[in-house]
Structure 1
């Protein structure tokens, strides 16, 4: 018997974890003419599959290792899996978390009996400090994914799937971060039922495993997205990469709008709300059906976790319509004269619903309107744009413009006649006190803030839009300061939506 299979079958996860249910999403099954099943890892005591690998690793420590305790670095589900497991076994646990970690997560770890050490502004700095503490204290480090016993613990999900669904099974869709879950599930299922396809699902902005498999070697991403923070991993594990190369059939990438639509799909099927990373499986499954047109298949998506901040739901709801291709966003130029808006609505919009409309007087000749239109599919979006063009309306499709969807839709009409040499930047600020002050220190001098927009989204990072007056224009001086600050950012000065509305 292969070692990994033996480790999965002899793992000790059920001393702390439960065997979660495999539920059919009946409405989705009927709608797509397939059998769609959801593996409910959101039912675990810590609302995530992470308890499986953490407990399996900790439970097999020697008596000497148990006496000293365990340590890890995490700001998410792995931290809760470690502290829950350590408490069950009566072992001391220390969790190193970035100082930017939201208080709700710090309190959750403390609530399970873990000792929290706040260090660094990101996971990498926290992990480095955890390594230092490990060496000085003798604590045993519990890796989040790149460990045989952790992978085996996660692999018990695959064992349950085959027992709960012994009949037809065509594809299993697995969220991918560092690769622990998909490595364990794929190794187990492929050895027992090699014809079942194992398909990983990653966000476009956190696709380390997909890029690594394409390159044939592990790739380190320069940055990762912040929405699906549960899979925001720059470098996948050595062991997980090796197993994925051997057993995984494909990786599907999804965007934020599609992921929000996946969260809604799970809610409608189960009335439970999963975190963004937890919805990756169903999002990839639905995208697979759309692209392949498959029917009469049995497809399983793993709901990997449900640690969702309530404050994030507003953002999810706003982006869901676009993800479901039920809304299209446009910038449309109309003449600034009486009756022009009525003609636009009557002649062009017709019997469609207007989902959003933003406008402010900026010129006596032309008006730029930001409008949302209800649609039934992607083709209708393109058809609407073609009709606008044929009727003489200049228009810009903003449906896939993240700057427009995140910021500009709330700021239409903000043009200033006095601003000079403005450059526009999007930032991902850590949601922690002092983040803005650190930014102001980094840009102090002759950079006047000419625009600022922030809206909380309930995540670890806030999305901020900032305009700066830069007399020196693009000399590289500002970029060096921003790079030193360490916040992820992107310049949007050339974005068409910015030039139209701001």
Structure 2
């Protein structure tokens, strides 16, 4: 056995986590197991005292500090769950804890840290911004930094989860699915599992818009992302740790990338089996497990997913519920063009057949053609193709919208918003941080001669707002527009050439 792997095995076996953590249950997800034809096991880290696994690593690090270090206090940067672990550990050990959190952190998590006695400082739009601020503050004040993932004691604390899984499941186990942010959880779990039962696969999971670890492994070196998606705030890390990268690159068997819709569907799956509501990061393992089973055609295997957190803002559930049906492939969305003739609507309904229509948006706008936004309940993804064929047999042109974020986030709420006055219109989707002043910054830096022709925003309870903006920008100002969005720094997508925009809004 590799000497470094043996060292981690010893660290995990001697880790001190149970002063604050519980041995979380490994439960069978009955409904999901039946549906997938495999035994699905959930490692319920969402049942920890702070509703996340993070207190394991934080406490294992802090309990080993000297009396002098504890007297001076500790500092950390965190998007929320590690912060709660540090605050709880500090209260247990009787020391001061300063926690720097991004301003985009859900209020639920910031309030939880304060309740546990931590001093919360909000700084920056991402974990990386908060980390730099915490590092400077800690050096200035003499605090000991408790890193959320890139520390051997933190990694060993998280590794006790792997130890518990193998103790609780001594029979056959095909794979364990682990969400990755900075890499502390997967590094610790992989270290123990590969040392004790190397035949068990470790599958790493990342969001499509926060995949720093996968990119780093592919490149053979750590890659820093310019920005990360904020839906799964618990894994929104631009740069993974040096040690976690080394271990993940060596020990992890495979990676799976999941998207927002799949994670929303997984949250619903776990709720139906446990009546517990996971945060997005906590459901990533389940989403990947489902995807892995479908891709490999697995049957009658035992698969474990670590449900690593449940610090979910209640308001975000509106968004999760809306996207879950698409994520679990139970809803197909189409833009259907039909002739503006009597009987056309009836033929459209005949093409849908006995299926349940989940959404229907239409507004008359042309004497010759009608563009209809249709949502249809389906049993599986293949059924969408069958519906599209039924539309074609009726002579209708149908555009599948399941993979189109513009349609799912905005257009479905705005069908019919045409205007003859909107010449030279440029349509863009922006992500604004949900904090005071974000919109004013946009308006203040925009050229005064550009007219806003369309503005759509709906608060989904997330850490960022999805905003659709139409701007009248003359051809001569296109270069100035690019300079404007570059300086603004908000993630954006130009949707002017999107066919859905041309069908419903142009």
TM-score where L is the length of structure 1: 0.97
Moved more, 198-207 or 113-122: 113-122
Farther-moved stretch of structure 1 (475-484 vs 224-233): 475-484
Specify which of 406, 418, 424 is matched with residue 403 of structure 1: 406
1:102 is displaced (CA, Å) by 4.2
Residues 45-124 of structure 1 mapped to structure 2, 5 A cutoff: 45-124=49-128
Aligned residue in 2 for 1:256: 260
- The structural deviation recorded for 1:470 is 0.8
2:454 pairs with 1:428 = no
Which stretches in structure 2 are left out of the alignment for 5+ residues?
A: none
The 3-state SS of whatever aligns with 2:367 is coil
Identify the residue that residue 386 of structure 1 maps to in structure 2: 389
Partners of 1:481 and 1:388 lie apart in 2 by: 43
Distance in 2, Cα, partners of 1:367 & 1:412: 11
Partner SS state of residue 396, structure 1: strand
User: Which residue pairs with 1:219 in the alignment?
Assistant: 223
User: Secondary structure of 1:199's partner?
Assistant: strand
* 8 Å contact from structure 2 (residues 80, 110) kept in 1: no
Measure the CA separation in 2 of the matches of 1:105 and 1:307: 7
Q: Return closer, same or farther for 1:474/1:498 CA change in 2, 3 Å cut-off.
A: farther
Return the alpha-carbon distance in structure 2 between the equivalents of residues 35 and 249 of structure 1. 20
Q: SS at 1:31's partner residue?
A: helix
The answer as to whether partners of 1:102 and 1:432 remain within 8 angstroms in 2 is: no
Matching of residues 182-331 of structure 1 within 5 Å: 182-331=186-335
Q: Residue 237 and residue 449 in structure 1: after superposition, are their counterparts in 2 closer, same or farther (change >3 A)? A: same
Mapped to 2, the partners of 1:103 and 1:256 lie a distance apart of 21
- 2-structure distance, mates of 1:112, 1:255: 33
**Deviations 1:379-424 (Å, cap 9, x if unpaired)?**
2211221332233211111111011001100000011110111111
Aligned to 1:440: 443
In structure 2, C-alpha distance between the alignment counterparts of 1:19 and 1:312, rounded to whole Å: 29
Deviation at 1:467, TM superposition (A): 1.1
The CA distance in 1 between the partners of 2:169 and 2:453, in whole Å, is 59
User: How far off its partner does 1:472 sit?
Assistant: 3.9
1:427-484 deviation line (CA, Å, top 9, x unaligned)? 1111111111111112142221111111111121111111111124563322222222
Structure-2 separation of matches of 1:122 and 1:178: 13
Shift of 1:156: 0.4
State the SS of the aligned residue for 1:120: coil
Corresponding residue number in structure 2 for 1:415: 418
Conserved? CA contact 1:154–1:184, under 8 Å = yes
Moved more, 48-57 or 465-474: 465-474
Deviation string 1:135-190 (CA, Å, 9 cap, x unpaired) is 11000111111111111010000000011111111110111111110010001001
Q: Distance in 1 between matches of 2:321 and 2:450?
A: 36
- In the alignment, what sits opposite 1:138? 142
| CA distance 1:121–1:255, shift in 2 (3 Å) | closer
- Give me the whole-angstrom Cα distance separating, in 2, the residues matched to 1:238 and 1:268: 38
Query: 2:384, 2:396 → 1: CA distance?
Result: 15
Note the residue ranges of structure 1 that are not aligned, 5 or more in a row: none
Is 2:505 the counterpart of 1:470?
Answer: no
How many residues end up aligned between the 2 structures?
Answer: 501
Structure 1 residue 375: deviation in Å? Answer: 1.8
Q: Is the 8 A contact 2:128 2:237 kept in 1?
A: no
Partners of 1:343 and 1:386 lie apart in 2 by: 13
Deviation at 1:217, TM superposition (A): 1.7
2:373 is the counterpart of 1:370? yes
* Aligned mates of 1:457, 1:416 — CA distance in 2: 27
Q: State the partner residue of 1:10.
A: 14
Q: 2:481 matched to 1:486?
A: no
Deviation at 1:277, TM superposition (A): 0.7
TM-score by length of 2: 0.96
Equivalent residue, structure 2, for 1:457: 460
The yes-or-no answer on 1:162 pairing with 2:162 is no
Contact 1:101 1:432 in 2 (8 A): no
Structure 2 residue matching 1:307: 3-state secondary structure: coil
SS in 1 for 2:209: helix
Q: Secondary structure of the residue that 1:476 maps to in structure 2?
A: helix
Deviation string 1:264-290 (CA, Å, 9 cap, x unpaired) is 110111110000110011111111111
SS in 2 for 1:14: coil
Q: What is the Cα-based RMSD across aligned positions, in Å?
A: 1.4
What SS class does the counterpart of residue 478 from structure 2 fall into?
coil
Q: 1:29 — aligned with what? A: 33
Query: 2: CA distance between counterparts of 1:259 and 1:95?
Result: 28
Q: Secondary structure at the match of 1:334?
A: strand
Distance 1:243 1:474 in 2: 50
